Amino acid sequence: TGLGVVTEITSVSQADLMMKYVDAVQIGARNMQNFELLKCVGRMGMPVVLKRGLASTIQEWLMSAEYIMAEGNNHIILCERGIRTFEPYTRNTLDLSAIPVLRKLTHLPIIIDPSHATGIREKVSPMARAAVAAGADALMIEVHNNPDKALSDGAQSLYPEQFGQLARDIYVIAPVVGKQLDFDYLKKSEMINNLDSKDSKTAAFIGEYGAYSHKASLGYFGDEIKPVPMKTFRDIFNSVRKGNCQYGVIPLENSLSGSIHENYDLLQEYNLKIIGEITIRVKHTLIAHENVLKSEIKRILAPPPAFSQCRNYLDQYPDIELVPVTATSSAVRQVKDSGDRQAAAIGSAMAAEIFNMNILEESIEDNPRNYTRFAIIAKEKTGHKKVTKTSIIFSTGNKPGALFEVMKVFSEYEINLVKLESRPMLGKPWEYMFYADLEADMEDPEFGPVMDRLKEKSENLRILGRY
C-alpha cells in the first residue's frame, strides 16, 4: 500500500525484528518509564511515538524523551492519551492543556489520541476537534468498519462515515490555528521527489523569510522544498517560467481586502499552470526587541494593509508613529537590523522566531476571519489522483447577454462556480477576461460536452489548472 507502519514495542528483545519490518515504533503508556527500552529505541534511530504515562507529569514525560535523545535519536513524537483521574465518565481524562505547555517547553511534535483517552465512541470526535483547536500537530484515531464485532477497542472505534465527517470538520477548523488538513500530501511528496534535479526543488514567494507567503509555502510543501524569496510577483512568474524555481506561491485573494489583481493579470499573461492552493489565517503580532516593554514603543513599522487590519488596536495608542514599509517580514527585519529599541513591527509569529525577536502581543488584528488564499503555480500540470477544482479564463463577445450565456452552461450541467473575477484584456481597452474557479475536473471525459459548450459560448478559453 505504501503506507508506513507504526508498531508498539514492549521489549528490548523485539528491536531487531522491528528494524526489519516497521517504519516507526511506539512506546506505550505503561512503558513510558521503562528506561532500558527507552535507551533501546534511542539506539534504533527510527521515529518514536512516546505515549504519556497514565499517572505521569509533563516533566516526567519529557525526561523519558531525554533518555531517547541521549542515545542520539531526536525523532520523537509526544502522544497525549489521557491520564488517570477520579472522573468515572470516561476511561481517562484527556489533558489538552498539555499542548500549550509543551509548546513552551519543547520543539517536539504533539499528537493526541482521543480514542484511548475517552474510551467511548461518541466522545472521540468532540475531543479530536478540541485537540486541533488547541494546536495539536496530529491525531491518532481508531476506525473500524464494524466496531461492534471488533476483537479489540470496538467501543472507542469510529465508523468510517463518522471519521469522514470528523475529517471534514477538521478541514474547517485547521486554518484557524494556522494548519491545513492536506488530503493530497503523499501525492505532492511523490511529485516533488520525482524531480530530476535536487537543485530544482525550490518555490518562489514574495517578500522575505517570515512573510505570510513564506508560511504558505511551508504549509503546502512542508520541508520537501526550499523557499526562495522574491521582490515582486513578476519575479516569481519569471523565475518559474525560466525554470530557476520549480514552483511559485502567489496570493490570489484575502477575505477582508479582496482579490490581488496583479496576480490575476499575470496568470493571464504567463502560460503557467495552477497545480494547488492553500488558505492560511493572517494573524498579526506586535514584535520588538527582547526585554522591551510596550510602553517604550514610539513607532511601529508595517505595510499599509496591516495597519488597516489592526486599526482598533492601534487607535489605543494615538501617540505612536506609524511607519509604512513594503511587507510585514521587511518590517521585522528593519527593526531587527536597526537595533532601535523604541521601534516595533507588525508581522507573523514565524517572522519573530526567524529574526529572534520578542512578541509583545498576539492577535492584534481587528477581525479574526482574516484569511489569504494562495495558488501554487508551475510550468507543467501535475497528475493529481483526485481533482476537485479547475481554474479557467475566458472572454466573451461584446454583446448583450454574452456572459449570461456562459453562466447558463454551468447551471445546466450543475457545476458550482465558486469564484468569478473580471480583469481588463491586455492591449484591448474596455474588453475583459474572466477568471473562474469551478468545483469540477474540466479535463475529465465526463465534462467534455461542457467544454465544447463553453468553447461555443466564449472566446480565448484556457484551463489554468486542475487541483
Among 90-99, 101-110, 116-125, 424-433, whose mean pLDDT is lowest? 424-433
Q: Which of 118, 328, 372, 396 is catalytic?
A: 372
Confidence of residue 86 (pLDDT cuts 50, 70, 90): very high
Q: To which residue does cell 489538552 refer?
A: 96
pLDDT on residue 370 = 87
Domain with CATH 3.20.20.70 in the chain: 6-177
Q: Stretch 239-258: mean pLDDT, rounded? A: 92
For residue 230, the model assigns a pLDDT of 94
pLDDT band for 112, please (50, 70, 90 cuts).
very high
* 190 confidence band (pLDDT: 50, 70, 90): low
The residues of the chain that CATH labels 3.40.190.10 are 185-273+371-378, 285-361
Measured CA to CA, the distance from residue 27 to residue 44 in angstroms comes to 13
| CA–CA gap between residue 71 and residue 65 (Å, rounded) | 10
- What residue type is 51 in one-letter code? K
Reported as a single tens digit per residue, the pLDDT across 122-170 is 999 999 999 999 999 999 999 999 999 999 999 999 999 999 999 989 9
pLDDT at 183: 53
* 210, amino acid identity: G
Q: Could you tell me which residues are beta bridge partners of residue 251?
A: 374
pLDDT at 193 over 70: no
**Residue type at position 128:** A
Q: Which residues contact 153 (CB under 8 A, 6 or more apart)?
A: 115, 116, 142, 144
Catalytic residue among 374, 394, 410, 434: 374
- Provide mean pLDDT across the span 54-72: 96
- Report the half-sphere exposure of 98 (CA within 13 A, side-chain side): 29
Residue of higher predicted confidence among 114 and 254: 114
pLDDT-wise least confident of 329-343, 383-397, 445-459: 383-397
Q: Which is it for the CA torsion 328, 329, 332, 337, positive or negative? A: negative
Average pLDDT value for residue range 336-343: 96
| pLDDT level of residue 186 (50, 70, 90 thresholds) | very low
Query: What string of H, E and C letters represents the secondary structure of the chain?
Result: CCCCCEEECCCHHHHHHHHHHCCEEEECHHHCCCHHHHHHHHHHCCCEEEECCCCCCHHHHHHHHHHHHCCCCCCEEEEECCECCCCCCCCCECCCCHHHHHHHHCCCCEEECHHHHHCCHHHHHHHHHHHHHHCCCEECCCECCCHHHCCCCHHHCECHHHHHHHHHHHHHHHHHHCCCCCCCHHHHHHHHHCCCCHHHCEEEEECCCCCHHHHHHHHHHCCCCEEEEECCHHHHHHHHHHCCCCEEEEEEEECCCEECHHHHHHHHHCCCEEEEEEEEECCCEEEECCCCCHHHCCEEEECHHHHHHCHHHHCCCCCCEEEECCCHHHHHHHHHHHCCCCEEEEECHHHHHHCCCEEEECCCCCCCCCEEEEEEEECCCCCCCCCCCEEEEEECCCCCCHHHHHHHHHHHCCCCEEEEEEEEECCEEEEEEEEEEECCCCCCHHHHHHHHHHHHHCEEEEEEEEC
pLDDT of residue 191: 52
Asked whether residue 189 carries a pLDDT value surpassing 80, the answer given is: no
Residue of higher predicted confidence among 49 and 195: 49
C-alpha cell at 463: 484551463
Q: Is the pLDDT of residue 221 over 90?
A: no
State the average pLDDT for the chain: 90
Q: Which residue has the higher pLDDT, 358 or 427?
A: 358
214 Rama sector, left if φ>0, alpha if ψ -120 to 50, beta otherwise:
alpha
Mean pLDDT of 407-425: 92
Has 404 been annotated as catalytic?
no
- Cα–Cα distance for residue pair 422/395, rounded to 1 Å: 9
- Residue bearing cell 510550468: 379
Mean pLDDT across 427-443: 88
Superfamily of domain 185-273+371-378: Periplasmic binding protein-like II (3.40.190.10)
CATH 3.30.70.260, the chain: domain bounds: 390-466
Quickly name the fold that domain 390-466 has: Alpha-Beta Plaits (3.30.70)
- CB-CB contact of 269 with 393 (8 Å): no
Band of pLDDT at residue 249, cut at 50, 70 and 90: very high
- The percent of residues above 70 in pLDDT, for the chain, comes to 95
Q: Can you tell me the mean pLDDT for 385-400?
A: 86
Nearest CA-CA partner of 94 in 61, 63, 130: 130
Q: Please say whether the dihedral angle defined by the alpha carbons of residues 330, 331, 335 and 338, taken in this order, is positive or negative.
A: positive
Which CATH architecture group holds 285-361?
A: 3-Layer(aba) Sandwich (3.40)
Q: pLDDT per residue over 28-38, tens digit each?
A: 999 999 999 99
Query: Average of pLDDT values for 73-100?
Result: 95
For residues 282 and 297, what is the distance between their CA atoms, to the nearest angstrom? 23
Give the tens place of pLDDT for each residue, 280-338. 888 899 999 999 999 999 999 999 889 989 999 999 999 999 999 988 999 999 999 99
Q: What are phi and psi of 322, to 5 degrees?
A: -100, 115
Euclidean distance between CA atoms 241 and 251, whole angstroms: 18
By C-alpha distance, which of 423, 369, 375, 347 is closest to 253?
375
Q: Taking each helix axis from N to C terminus, what angle separates 98-105 and 121-134, rounded to the nearest 10 degrees? A: 40
Q: Catalytic annotation on 372? A: yes
**Looking at domain 6-177, what is its CATH homologous superfamily?**
Aldolase class I (3.20.20.70)
